[in-house]
């Protein structure tokens, strides 16, 4: 009997635990599936330490892109930034490859970020976040990796997503027309900025509280650089403001609190690295591009991931959120 083609396998936790033990020389650790998502995340737990093992889905990240993420983490760690970097195996390698039903899947063992995710953040934590993000950008602004990573520009976060999500709105033509008109407005608005003077390099592009841990009041460790790619560095402050916008939209924080928190982060960032008023002014429009980009991610990964939540109700709620964002923050 031939093996029927598959598109998203799930590696056995027990077999993976044995493989990691022999490949990395780790003894006495249990291995369990933590999240079955765009990729699969496993938790390795021992008596005194923990690790994260991530198995990438080939349709989402190529081997070259995985090597790029690992190389970026290596550069940040070497530059003194606290990141959950990739652990070397007994042969000095940092990326594993597994031949599974659908082809090759890459796996990486990461250090576990100490502490836990915290939200809302105290003033001291906001200051630590701003300074550390600036330190990241001081490294990535001049870094050129020999591997491919996503690029965040008008084509990849506005033009292409608009085409990709069209079918999603087949029963919501009014909403799709709104997105078309909004995309044109955002593209026109960006032309009013002197974006050639914006700081550019590798940004995290998903800098929300679930992707950094605080151990105590000010020790922060960043992780999950799966979205990291080339773009305007202000995108990272934008994604932080996206989280604040979520809070305002949900009624969890006031707009005044969101603005105060963002000011604290920005002022701390400026202690380490400059950011212009024009870059800050672009955040609302880059935020629209962020929403568009992730709508496309949901659509492109429907069969393997987003089918559990990408339904008409989710689309309506997301459109309401986008409209609020535009009404509150964009000035066309």
Give residue-wise pLDDT tens across range 24-60: 999 999 999 999 989 999 999 999 999 999 999 999 9
CB 316 within 8 A of CB 178: no
**pLDDT (mean) for 311-329:** 97
pLDDT in the model for residue 90: 98
Distances 67 to 62, 131, 133, 145, 286 between C-alpha atoms, Å: 9, 27, 22, 9, 27
Taking a C-beta distance cutoff of 8 angstroms, is the pair 239, 265 a contact?
Answer: no
Can you tell me the mean pLDDT for 87-94?
98
What is the pLDDT confidence band of residue 4, given thresholds at 50, 70 and 90? Answer: confident
Distance CA 7, CA 164 (A): 21
Instruction: Please report the pLDDT score of residue 235 as a whole number.
Output: 98
The gap from C-alpha 212 to its chain's centroid, in whole angstroms, comes to 11
- Contact (CB, 8 A) for 224 and 211: yes
Mean pLDDT along residues 149-168 = 97
Burial of residue 79, with CB atoms counted within 10 A of its CB: 0-12 exposed, 13-18 middle, 19 or more buried: middle
Q: Is the pLDDT of residue 1 over 90?
A: no
Q: Write out the H or E segment, with its range, that includes residue 107.
A: strand 103-111
Q: What domains lie within the chain, and their CATH numbers?
A: 13-111 (3.30.200.20), 123-329 (3.90.1200.10)
**243 — pLDDT class (breaks 50, 70, 90):** very high
Q: Model pTM greater than 0.95?
A: yes
pLDDT band at 73 (very low <50, low <70, confident <90, very high): very high
pLDDT higher than 90, residue 219:
yes
Overall average pLDDT of the 87-113 stretch = 97
pLDDT, average across residues 84-89: 98
Asked whether residue 3 carries a pLDDT value surpassing 90, the answer given is: no
Instruction: Count other Cβ atoms within 10 Å, centred on residue 238.
Output: 25
Instruction: Retrieve residue 95's tokens.
Output: 């990326």
Which pair of structure tokens corresponds to residue 90? 């007994």
- The CB-side HSE value for 63 (13 A sphere, CA atoms) comes to 10
Give the per-residue pLDDT at 2: 82
pLDDT tens-digit series, residues 246-285 = 999 999 999 999 999 999 999 999 999 999 999 999 999 9
Residue environment code for 246-257, b if the CB has 16+ CB neighbours within 10 A, otherwise e: bbbeeeebeeee
User: What's the whole-number mean pLDDT along residues 174-185?
Assistant: 98
Total Cβ atoms within 10 A of residue 18 = 12
């Amino acid at each position: 009997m031939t093996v029927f083609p598959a598109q998203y396998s799930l590696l056995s936790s027990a077999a993976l635990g044995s493989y990691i033990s022999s490949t990395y020389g780790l003894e006495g650790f249990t291995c369990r599936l933590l999240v079955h998502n765009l990729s699969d995340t496993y938790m390795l737990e021992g008596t005194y330490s923990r690790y994260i093992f991530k198995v990438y889905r080939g349709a989402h990240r190529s081997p070259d892109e995985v090597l790029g993420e690992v190389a970026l983490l290596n550069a940040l760690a070497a530059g003194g930034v606290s990141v959950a970097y990739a652990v070397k195996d007994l042969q000095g390698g940092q990326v594993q490859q597994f031949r599974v039903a659908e082809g090759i899947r890459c796996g990486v063992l990461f250090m576990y970020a100490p502490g836990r995710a915290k939200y809302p953040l105290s003033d001291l934590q906001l200051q630590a976040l701003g300074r550390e993000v600036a330190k990241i950008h001081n490294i990535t602004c001049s870094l050129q990796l020999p591997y491919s990573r996503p690029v965040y520009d008008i084509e990849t976060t506005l033009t292409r997503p608009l085409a990709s999500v069209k079918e999603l709105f087949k029963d919501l033509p009014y909403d799709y027309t709104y997105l078309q008109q909004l995309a044109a407005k955002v593209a026109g608005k960006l032309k009013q900025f002197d974006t050639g003077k914006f700081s550019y390099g590798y940004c995290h592009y998903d800098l929300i509280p679930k992707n950094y841990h605080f151990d105590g009041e000010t020790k922060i460790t960043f992780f999950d650089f799966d979205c990291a790619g080339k773009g305007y560095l202000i995108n990272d402050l934008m994604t932080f403001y996206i989280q604040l916008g979520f809070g305002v939209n949900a009624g969890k924080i006031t707009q005044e609190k969101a603005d105060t928190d963002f000011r604290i982060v920005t002022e701390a960032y400026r202690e380490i690295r400059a950011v212009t008023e024009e870059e800050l002014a672009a955040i609302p429009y880059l935020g629209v591009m962020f929403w568009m980009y992730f709508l496309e991610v949901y659509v492109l990964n429907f069969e393997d991931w987003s089918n559990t939540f990408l339904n008409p109700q989710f689309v309506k709620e997301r459109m309401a959120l986008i409209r609020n964002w535009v009404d509150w923050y964009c000035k066309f």
